[in-house]
Amino acid sequence: MSTTWRQRLQVVVGVLLILLAAWLTIGGGDEGEPAGSPSSSSTSSASAQPTPSASRSSTPSRSSSARPSATATPDSGLATLPASSLPPEGRRTLALVAAGGPFPYDRDGVTFGNRERILPIRDRGYYAEYTVPTPGESDRGARRLVVGDEGDTYYTADHYASFRQVEVGS
């Protein structure tokens, strides 16, 4: 084998290893879910309940039937926040979610991938995110509500760096 052939082979192998590492990092195409994570494996732990996520799309056109009633809020172990303590914009967004819309932003209702792994691990498609407008911002701002299929609701004021579980109905 000549030196240039060996060098070319090393470059090709290196590129393939980088592509493989990138593919594994993003979970083999399951956005935000690393390969082998509890939410991407075929078996689930006792805390990850099966969900009807296969019937849900990641488009913003979620109907009110896609969201559970807000009577019970599963416990996540995160710090809690009474719904009455949300900023006024958050309470309005929560009411829109309960009503099934209409939502003011195109991205409202899309799947939240939970890449930060702060919220409980669930199957892809379990969580949807909604914008909580920030007064004075010219864009969507950093505030969001993230709502799970079981009614669990979370608030972040810092674009997913931290969350508090919303006590819906309080």
- Buried residues in 133-149 as b, exposed as e (16+ CB within 10 A): beeeeeebbebbbbbbb
How far apart (Å, rounded) are the C-alpha atoms in residues 22 and 4? Answer: 27
Block mean pLDDT (10 aa), the chain, length 170: 66 58 47 38 36 36 41 70 94 94 94 93 94 90 94 94 88
* Domain, as residue range, for 140: 59-170
Set 129, 137, 150, 167: catalytic member = 129
| Same domain assignment for residues 156 and 103 | yes
How far apart (Å, rounded) are the C-alpha atoms in residues 132 and 93? Answer: 6
Q: Is residue 50 part of a domain?
A: no
Q: Is residue 8 part of a domain?
A: yes
How far apart (Å, rounded) are the C-alpha atoms in residues 37 and 43? Answer: 10
146 and 158 Cβ atoms separated by less than 8 Å = no
Omega before residue 102 within 30° of 0, cis: yes
In degrees to the nearest 10, what's the CA dihedral of 30, 36, 42, 45?
-120
Active site residue 137: no
pLDDT given for residue 169 in this prediction = 79
Q: Can you list the alpha helix ranges (DSSP code H) found in the chain?
A: 3-25, 88-99
pLDDT given for residue 9 in this prediction = 67
pLDDT given for residue 27 in this prediction = 46
pLDDT given for residue 92 in this prediction = 95
Q: What is the pTM of this model?
A: 0.58
Set 31, 137, 150, 159: catalytic member = 159
Enumerate the β-bridge partners of residue 14.
none
**Cα dist. 35→15, 18, 22, 38, 117 in Å?**
20, 16, 11, 9, 14
| Same domain assignment for residues 109 and 149 | yes
Q: Is residue 108 part of a domain?
A: yes
| Same domain assignment for residues 73 and 154 | yes
Q: Is residue 148 part of a domain?
A: yes
Active site residue 89: no
Per residue in 115-150, pLDDT (tens digit) is: 999 999 999 999 999 999 999 888 889 999 999 999
